[in-house]
A and B are shown apart, each in its own frame.
Chain A
Amino acid sequence: MANLWQFAPLKFSTRLHAFLRNLGLKAAVLLATGNMACGTLLFDDDPLEGGRSMTADVEDPNRRDILVVAASAFSAVGAASLIWPFVHQMNPDAGAQALASAEFDLAPVQVGQAITVMWRGKPVFIRHRTAEEIEAAKKVPVEDLPDPLSRNDNEPGTPATDANRTLEGHEKWLVMVGICTHLGCIPKGQTLADSKGDFGGWFCPCHGSHYDTAGRIRKGPAPRNLDIPPYTFLSDTKIRIG
């Protein structure tokens, strides 16, 4: 059988049409039979070859399979790469990402008080800890903690000591994402009337997780200490989260 592209005098559209038709037929037969050597069967009514192709192709029945394989591979990769836009559109959009940093004034927060601010749509707990609370948190040996890591975005991978849960020079301020690391409830403990759990910090009522005065998980199903977001102090009482 003659090479398809040899028929230069033929109109391009005819050539393309014949090519696509062969490709389609071949793909169909390939799918139906799983047979790669089906080339010869398809071309005996080919307009380009006056239906005389059977014998010619026998010499090398698989010669044009490369076209099928290449075209199929290209279409498959193309189609597959189009999945990504459809998946990625669901990720946080530019607007959500733009809320990534926010500033707050801590001057009105007295010792022993706590405030809740919003950052990236999440509540952030900021507690002005008392000396006793800091003392209690410091006394706990890290080995006794269910989660030994500080979970502090400012000092990733460090052990969960009280010092690593805060920023140097600002140990009295505990700044954490106020979302239980179990299944995402908001723990109690921000207001004076709240139950603060067995360790004087926070208590998640959903499934009973107890956090201590450094926001570390001590008892209950939560797997991790409360997360600490990236933050910096702009002055002694001004903080930027994110």
Chain B
Amino acid sequence: MSNHASTYEPKSATAKWWDERLPVPRMMHDQFVDFPTPRNLNYLWTFGGILTFCLVAQLVTGIVLAMHYVPTADDAFNSVDHIRRDVNYGWLLQAMHATGSSMFFLAVYVHIFRGLYYGSYRAPREILWILGVFILLAMMATAFLGYSLPWGQMSFWAVTVITNLFSSLDSVIPGLGTGIVEWLWGGYAVSGATLNRFFSLHYLLPFVIFGLVILHIWALHVAGQNNPTGLNIKTKSDSLPMYPYAVAKDAVALFAFVIVFAWFVLFLPDYLGHADNFIEANPLVTPPHIVPEWYFLPFYAILRAIPDKLGGVIAMFASIAILAFIPWLDRSPVRSTKYRPIYKWFFWLFLFACLALGYLGSKPAEGVYVFWARIFTAYYFAHFLLVMPIVGSIETPTKLPGSITDAVLGKSPGKSGATGGGGVPAGATAAPEDR
């Protein structure tokens, strides 16, 4: 899968024997030890490793929680209580898993905005990016399913409200929406049958994510990593072997991340949750104010900003689906926003819009909150559909450094620009990086 010659030398007879049969050590060496990484990667590039850590952490804690958890309407709520109070170290494992999902989303949002800023979705990384969009979707589904499992009031009513979104399809074909919803529920209302299947799917999806992540990394190692300049690796001096350089940097970042993670787990285990979820699910009483977990708030705000039920649902799904199209919506001749004097401002405006939507999603859908939610929803879509193509076409990028090496050594832009031989095939619009 790599685009550099293998440097693996089996050192022992066993290693040689193995190498001739199933060359996994060779692959690991070529892809994760001697893999050329751009020498100018900053800490935003450490989040891929952090995300891998998060996925493994969720898998491991989840599998052990499943040894104690009971997916029935009668016992689910008590079994989580039992995990927290009676199971040996259950308090720790449950807190790691529940907090872990927040940490996972925190990391994935940083990872996504990194990609947006440095144009990592541009050719030749479109498939890599689109796989990322699928991973995000699968993560959202997993977290939504997982949130139902403690069977508290928020669990129950979040499931009710979100599954009911599909009933809006009744306005397209009468009965279609209701049919889908009852199929999802396995009954005529959210019930124990719903909980049991949600547990089954919550167990399944992380393994699907695992598979997608493997493809994601494969695609990454075909295209090679992007970097803050957006330039391709052209000469040997532009890159460093992954081990020890990138690996060491990843480790530093991972330790910092784990400290934050541990802080929440040990000191604020329920801070990111909702008090109503400590009340057992009651199908007869709706909590006064239903809010999703923080990582869904911007999407919830978009859902509620549209006055029409079906329209809101479409807008919410479109807000994620649109990400898959941005490799083609961005018309700029350069990748990195660093060299884009106009787009830069729009980028920060977009980040602000997302944070604002997150805030508005946590507020009741009335009055001035709805007004602003509509404004920022409009900007969310305009950013991709108008700003990306238009600004990309009219803006003149600032002068790019001649190479990654020049950028690192602080040489003035453009001097040794003619060093050719970038190993990465250029997309139609990627010209300046490939000079």
| A contacts, CB < 8 Å to B | 87, 90-93, 96, 116, 118, 120-123, 179, 182-186, 204-208, 221, 223
Contact = CB atoms under 8 A, between A and B. Distances in A.
A87 B290 CA distance: 31
A179 B167 CA distance: 13
Interface stretch (B135-143, B188-196, B231-239, B407-415): B188-196
Given A186-B286, A207-B365, A208-B365, A221 B307 contact: yes
Given A96-B193, A185-B161, A221-B307, 15 more contacts: A87-B183, A92-B193, A93-B186, A96-B186, A96-B188, A121-B189, A121-B191, A122-B189, A123-B283, A185-B157, A186-B283, A186-B285, A205-B288, A205-B289, A223-B171
A96 B197 CA distance: 15
A208 B366 contact: yes
Contact of A185 (B163, B188, B197, B290): B290
Nearest to B162: A183
Contacts of A221: 307, 309
Contact of A90 (B157, B165, B197, B307): B197
Closest 9 CB pairs of A and B: A121-B189, A184-B164, A120-B188, A185-B286, A183-B161, A183-B164, A96-B187, A184-B160, A186-B286
B284 A185 contact: no
Nearest to A224: B170
Nearest to B181: A184
A185 B183 CA distance: 19
Nearest to A89: B186
B286 A120 contact: no
Contacts of A121: 187-189, 191, 283
B182 interface: yes
A121 B181 CA distance: 14
Given A182-B309, A185-B286, A208-B366, A92 B187 contact: yes
Contacts of B186: 90-93, 96
B160 A183 contact: yes
B184 interface: yes
B304 interface: yes
Nearest to B312: A221
Contacts of B366: 208
Interface in B142-171: 157, 160-161, 163-165, 167, 171
Nearest to A206: B290
Nearest to B192: A121
A10 to B, nearest CB: 40
Nearest to A116: B284
Nearest to A222: B309
Given A207-B365, A208-B366, A90 B183 contact: yes
Contact of A92 (B188, B285, B309): B188
A206 B191 CA distance: 20
Contacts of A204: 286
A179 B189 CA distance: 10
A208 B365 CA distance: 8
Given A185-B157, A208-B365, A92 B284 contact: no
Interface residues of B, number: 31
Nearest to B185: A92
Nearest to B165: A183
Contacts of B164: 182-184
B377 to A, nearest CB: 16
In the complex, which of the residues A118, A207, A208 has the most CB atoms of chain B within 10 Å of its own CB atom?
A: A207
B284 A123 contact: yes
A185 B288 CA distance: 10
Given A91-B183, A93-B186, A205-B288, A185 B160 contact: yes
Interface string B300-343: 00001001010000000000000000000000000000000000
A26 to B, nearest CB: 31
Interface string B83-96: 00000000000000
A129 B160 CA distance: 29
B29 to A, nearest CB: 33
Contacts of A92: 182, 185-188, 193
Nearest to A92: B187
A223 B309 contact: yes
Given A96-B193, A120-B188, A91 B307 contact: no
24 contacts: A92-B182, A92-B186, A92-B193, A93-B186, A96-B186, A118-B284, A120-B187, A120-B189, A121-B187, A121-B188, A122-B189, A122-B283, A183-B160, A183-B164, A183-B165, A184-B160, A184-B167, A185-B160, A186-B285, A204-B286, A207-B304, A207-B365, A223-B171, A223-B309
Interface in B184-229: 184-189, 191, 193, 197
Nearest to A179: B189
B362 to A, nearest CB: 14
A207 B164 CA distance: 14
Contacts of A91: 182-183, 186
B104 to A, nearest CB: 26
Nearest to B184: A90
Interface string B122-142: 000000000000000000000
Contacts of A205: 286, 288-289
Contacts of A90: 183-184, 186, 197
